Amino acid sequence: MSEVVITVGDRSIRTINQEIQAAVADGHAVCVKETLSRHNLGIGLPAGARVRFEGSVGYYCGGLNSGATIEIGRDAGWGTGEAMASGHITVNGYSGMSVGASMLGGTIHVKGDCGPRCGVAMKGGDIIVEGKLGYQSGFMAHAGRIIALGGAGTSCADALWEGQVWVLGDIESLGVDTQVVEPEPEEAASVEQLLAGYGLDDSAHDWRKVISSQRLWYFESRDANAWLMI
């Protein structure tokens, strides 16, 4: 697959995204240079697209991804991969707040730390964070897995639904309505199989799996203790 180089600089993001889409439609891989942390790069890319952003990107990079493979060379701003349906996004550095927000499927792989509310309201897919999860990560996640290899910050998995937060290392504090459970062997095997696909299988894993304790699911307003929990 030949590679087309596109330079962002001060040009309009609409033009850049049209050029990326055109190159992808013609069967090219794309390298995007001089990204300057600009917002909304690589939105709505289709299956089979291979797009690499050199440097850092701003908000919502790879949002609405529908099967593309996207690599971000350095850091990413807020909302990376927001509402993506499928495909794969790699962030080689830090990923800002709400990475994978409302994502439906696919995988996001963050090699550094991530900001607050990683995977907020996600509805499927996997987010792998080699570093530490930010504050309140997994907030109200409906489904899917967040897998952190470097611990988690405060209020981890706050108000979780059926999503799961898997953590190696310290969790500074759990969010409301959560519990840490022992994973089933086949669940752990599934997580470790996923990690192995990213070359992350070289350590003995002592997982802490955080799930909802479901007290807020069936909230009873006359339950004083439930109010205190909030």
Binding residues for other proteins, rule: CB under 8 A, are 36-39, 55-56, 58-59, 74-75, 77-78, 94, 96-97, 115-117, 134-136, 153-154
Between 28 and 52, name the residue whose CB sits nearer to other proteins. 52
Check: CB of residue 133 under 8 Å from CB of residue 148: yes
In the complex, minimum distance from the CB of residue 36 to other proteins, in angstroms, rounded to a whole number: 4
Between 59 and 106, name the residue whose CB sits nearer to other proteins. 59
Between 135 and 166, name the residue whose CB sits nearer to other proteins. 135
Between 38 and 109, name the residue whose CB sits nearer to other proteins. 38
In the complex, minimum distance from the CB of residue 135 to other proteins, in angstroms, rounded to a whole number: 5
Q: Of 21, 8, 118, 4, which Cα lies nearest the Cα of 68?
A: 21
Between 32 and 104, name the residue whose CB sits nearer to other proteins. 32
In the complex, minimum distance from the CB of residue 137 to other proteins, in angstroms, rounded to a whole number: 11
150 DSSP 8-state letter: S
Between 74 and 205, name the residue whose CB sits nearer to other proteins. 74
C-alpha separations of 181 from 107, 115, 213 in Å: 24, 24, 10
| Alpha helices for 115-198 (secondary structure H) | 185-196
- Token pair 């992350």 is found at 200
In the complex, minimum distance from the CB of residue 51 to other proteins, in angstroms, rounded to a whole number: 19
- DSSP states of 55-117: S-B-TTTTTT-EEEEEEESS-B-TTTTTT--EEEEEESS-B-TTTTTT--SSEEEESS-B-TT
In the complex, minimum distance from the CB of residue 159 to other proteins, in angstroms, rounded to a whole number: 13
Q: What dihedral do alpha carbons 151, 60, 39, 132 form, nearest 10°?
A: 0
The CA distance from 82 to 181, in Å, is: 28
- CA quadruple 48, 54, 151, 116: dihedral sign: negative
In the complex, minimum distance from the CB of residue 21 to other proteins, in angstroms, rounded to a whole number: 21
